[in-house]
Structure 1
Amino acid sequence: MVKHRLSVMTFGKILFLNLILLIESPLIGQEKISVEIITQRALNLMENLSQGNFEEATKYFDETMKKVASPEFLKKAWQSLQLQFGSFQGIKGSRFETLAGYDAIFIFCQFEKQMLDARVIFNKAGEIAGLNFVPHLEVKESPPPAYAKPDLFEEKEVEIRSGDWVLPGTLTIPRDGGPFPALVLVHGSGPNDRDETVGPNKPFRDLAWGLASRGVAVLRYEKRTRVYGEKIREDRKIRLSFTVNDETVEDALSAVKLLRSMEKINPDKIFVLGHSFGGMMIPRIASRDEKIAGFIIMAGLTRPIEEALLEQTRYLLSLQGPLTDEARKKLEEIENSVARIRSLKETGENPEEPLLGAYPAYWLDLKSYQPIEEIKKIERPILVLQGKRDYQVTEKDFHNWQKALEGRKNVTFKLYAACNHLFMEGQGLPTPNEYLYSAGNVSQQVIEDIAAWIKSWAWHDDHLNEDILK
């Protein structure tokens, strides 16, 4: 079963191991086994393999894994692995990731010749749905960007309050002078932290530090689904009524309100930036606060999430060659979920279980939302940014924004040839590995463009506005 060092050994159905969708992880959160429990099950699996307890090793396998990875199969595969990499020396640690709706535990396995990571995939029931070994990877946090100048700004811990919901946040503000124009950062899908961390990368941190180094204060905060994920899951009333307004819009508006009350912030020059799904929500945020000075849409989706989800899935599968039976089955599951989402009714009974990570109320809230039509009603300045190498939100969406806002003198469009979904620069076909395993920073050109655009509107410099629009 051993092929070569970069694809060491594969057990059973390894589905979409490198897949990051627009919904980077469940939108709201759903009932599932805790990380502690699945980590222990992954550790037990490796201990049983190393001790030759191959029957016991299959204890938590799902039905498909039991069929394709029998105790005898495991024994032969484990022996082959040690023939290539030497005897098993021990377990050196573990880490957790969420990949395409599946939880993955990486167990760091030291062999005589090389350390490998056992990648154990779990389904929602906490059963082992896949196992393979990959070269050990030390995932290090991306370094501070070179364009950030820490001596020019300071950071303060703040709280964003929306009713009973309190979110910790960070205000990054220039040290000297003021009052400053300010920017609120609105996350993409999933329970993001204030840095919008993906793998080792922290795009919101890069934006905050880069812009504050150029005279723009930035407020970023933990997303409500990150801070209160357990509360939302456990409270039936909350989870069944939870919408995009609860998840994203209300907290963005509260962040703007907080900035208006702060010293050294110009209350008339507060802007809002939405990334990915946050970009899609810009028209709704704008409609709720007419005093926001302007808006930035970074890789903003214009189409239904479920449509983009299918498109992303098919793209990533195309990179893997001909579809396997298991990949085809997974694709069919997503297609079926999308069909169920599209069939939800405003009135009448709907299922109470989550569909693609969110409950019916969430999907129904989005069903009638048309960002392209709503953005036409917003007359304030808008900057639309897009990476040409973005497979999650594509040029199709960028062109949709362009068509909707065609002819507007206070709207600027910028397309970055080398940038991916996180606005990091790269080459070749874009894949999720750029986010998960490669540390980088938001492109400096993106930082410069955002800073110049904000200052142009904050300072009412008509000549600079003309330059930015070119």
Structure 2
Amino acid sequence: MKKVYVWLLCSLFVLASASASAQDITGNWYGRADVGGMKLRMNLTFEKSGETYTGYMVSPDQSSAKIPFNKITFEANRLSLEIAQIGFKYQGVWKEDNTIDGSFTQMGAQFPIKFSREEIVANRPQHPVPPYPYLTEEITFRNEKANVRLAGTITLPKQAGKYPAVVLVTGSGPQNRDEELMGHKPFWVIADYLTRQGIVVLRYDERGVGASEGKYNECGIPDFAEDAAAAIAYLKNRKEVDKQKIGIIGHSEGGSVATLLAAQQIPAFIVSLAGPGENGRDLMQKQRAALFKTSGATDAYINRYNETMTKLEDYILTTDKNAVKKESITAIIAGTVLAGQEQTIIAQMTSESMLTLLRFDPLDYFKKITCPVLALNGDKDLQVIARPNLEGFKQITANGNNQVTIKEYPGLNHLFQHATTGLPAEYSQIEETISPEVLKDMGEWILKQ
């Protein structure tokens, strides 16, 4: 569910000044830092107008999001960068070999990193390579209720006919049509595989991401469900699609979207990839415990942390988000490891996506689902723990729907990669994007519906 980022997304607009300097840093710079055992790429992009630089940072091993700097200074061959809202600062020196050598600090820790003009490309052997044996089309469709236009890619078999189709729905956090994160593009790999099997696939940028309209930060699960329903409506008007065989594949939070729409009898079938099978608060508590435990935290630490988070959730969920007070948050987190993080807590916990996640209980919807369901998870998933969540999906069967298939994969993490620990720190280090077994199981199951 909630993805772990070293740099939180912010919406600060960049405006920075640059004094006269011997060199021009305009363009792209690439580096890699060792951050807590993670080898993370950092890409910097600068533009210049007059004597003023603007720019942003991308950490492609975590997200495709462009994180703008609110301060850029380059003088006497010394570069200073800052993203104040997340406490990020970089100090570096331009060298004669056309590199910038320095370090960044965040949350009291310092990490050396050297930037050059040479792009660092991660090895992703599953990313599709042209020529493709299918058709690819860039499309847009409207969510009329929200008055937003969403942009995506549809892939179709070349031979004329009526084919089953799926809409891909991403997990939490603003993501593009490929669900690009940690240097991987899972939805691109899924779309490529399924279309080769004779399945039409539509994937799209979330609201406010890529070429899609709207504001992601104002949206929650019901809004994302409206977008997915609009995608299904679009597919029903495609001559290549069998209108009776349009389903949803939802990953993580996207699984909640699939559950909600299935309860409304909108898709013909759903595939839940590590989707929630228990209420949001229980899910998040178990997620925190699993992540901390695997990282070496003591049970006492985990219990104290979860007790604090429970108090925060109680307060946030019983208070209008516009009435949440910093003083109340301070009182709850005083003396804990969260002390001093009031603004970050308020921003994250009062976001519409977090509020709807915490309030979402799939059991309220499972009893209304009558379509076929495929629920998959990996036993090394530390974000949506396999056992309790897959157990939840059994409630669909208990309510009389016997078209439910549940499978737990040994050794797979939240992204369905073969993993060692399952920690998010591994995601970018693993070359595999998604297990071929999962792709095969999805394809075969969909074609049987």
- TM-score, scaled to structure 1: 0.65
Find out whether 1:439 has 2:431 as its counterpart. Answer: yes
Q: Which amino acid aligns with 2:121?
A: K
The residue aligned with 1:153 is: 134
Can you list the C-alpha shifts for 1:449-470, whole angstroms capped at 9, x where unaligned?
Answer: 111111111xxxxxxxxxxxxx
Find out whether 1:388 has 2:379 as its counterpart. Answer: yes
The residue aligned with 2:188 is: 205
Can you list the C-alpha shifts for 1:294-351, whole angstroms capped at 9, x where unaligned?
Answer: 111110023344543444344333444457xx999998875554343343369x9556
RMSD: 4.4
- Whether the 8 Å CA contact 1:274–1:298 is kept in 2: the answer is yes
Residues 136, 170 of structure 1: CA spacing in aligned structure 2 closer, same or farther, 3 A cutoff?
same
Counterpart Cα distance in 2 of 1:225 and 1:286: 25
Residues 212, 144 of structure 1: CA spacing in aligned structure 2 closer, same or farther, 3 A cutoff?
farther
Find out whether 1:344 has 2:319 as its counterpart. Answer: yes
Alignment of 1:70-219 (within 5 A): 95-97=57-59, 118-121=103-106, 129-133=108-112, 140-141=121-122, 143=124, 145=126, 150-163=131-144, 164-219=147-202
The residue aligned with 1:226 is: 209
- Whether the 8 Å CA contact 1:97–1:105 is kept in 2: the answer is no
Counterpart Cα distance in 1 of 2:263 and 2:391: 19
Q: Give the SS at the match of 1:173.
A: strand
Greater RCO, CA 8 A, separation 6+:
1
Counterpart Cα distance in 1 of 2:252 and 2:391: 14
The residue aligned with 1:15 is: none
Can you list the C-alpha shifts for 1:229-281, whole angstroms capped at 9, x where unaligned?
Answer: 99638xxxx94xx44222x1111000000001012111111011111011022
Which structure has greater helix proportion? Answer: 1
Find out whether 1:413 has 2:406 as its counterpart. Answer: yes
Deviation at 1:412, TM superposition (A): 0.7
The residue aligned with 1:75 is: none
Alignment of 1:327-406 (within 5 A): 337-344=312-319, 355=346, 357=348, 359=350, 365=356, 369-406=360-397
Find out whether 1:453 has 2:445 as its counterpart. Answer: yes
Deviation at 1:432, TM superposition (A): 1.5
- Whether the 8 Å CA contact 1:148–1:210 is kept in 2: the answer is no
Counterpart Cα distance in 2 of 1:175 and 1:182: 14
Can you list the C-alpha shifts for 1:149-193, whole angstroms capped at 9, x where unaligned?
Answer: 854212100112113211110001111132110000011000001
The residue aligned with 2:12 is: 33
Counterpart Cα distance in 1 of 2:115 and 2:432: 20
- Whether the 8 Å CA contact 1:279–1:299 is kept in 2: the answer is yes
Residues 337, 327 of structure 1: CA spacing in aligned structure 2 closer, same or farther, 3 A cutoff?
same
Counterpart Cα distance in 2 of 1:166 and 1:208: 21
- Whether the 8 Å CA contact 2:280–2:358 is kept in 1: the answer is no
Count of equivalent residues: 367
Deviation at 1:411, TM superposition (A): 0.9
Counterpart Cα distance in 1 of 2:423 and 2:132: 35
Counterpart Cα distance in 2 of 1:314 and 1:116: 38
Deviation at 1:430, TM superposition (A): 1.4
Query: Which has the larger displacement, 200-209 or 304-313?
Result: 304-313
The residue aligned with 2:251 is: 275
Residues 150, 380 of structure 1: CA spacing in aligned structure 2 closer, same or farther, 3 A cutoff?
farther
Counterpart Cα distance in 1 of 2:114 and 2:305: 26
Q: Which amino acid aligns with 1:400?
A: E
Q: Which amino acid aligns with 1:446?
A: V
Residues 404, 145 of structure 1: CA spacing in aligned structure 2 closer, same or farther, 3 A cutoff?
same
Show structure 2 runs of 5+ residues with no match: 19-24, 26-41, 46-56, 64-84, 327-342
- Whether the 8 Å CA contact 2:89–2:105 is kept in 1: the answer is yes
Q: Give the SS at the match of 1:195.
A: coil
Q: Please, which of 282, 293, 296 is the counterpart of residue 271 of structure 2?
A: 296
Find out whether 1:266 has 2:242 as its counterpart. Answer: yes
Deviation at 1:392, TM superposition (A): 0.5
Residues 228, 116 of structure 1: CA spacing in aligned structure 2 closer, same or farther, 3 A cutoff?
same
Counterpart Cα distance in 2 of 1:223 and 1:92: 23
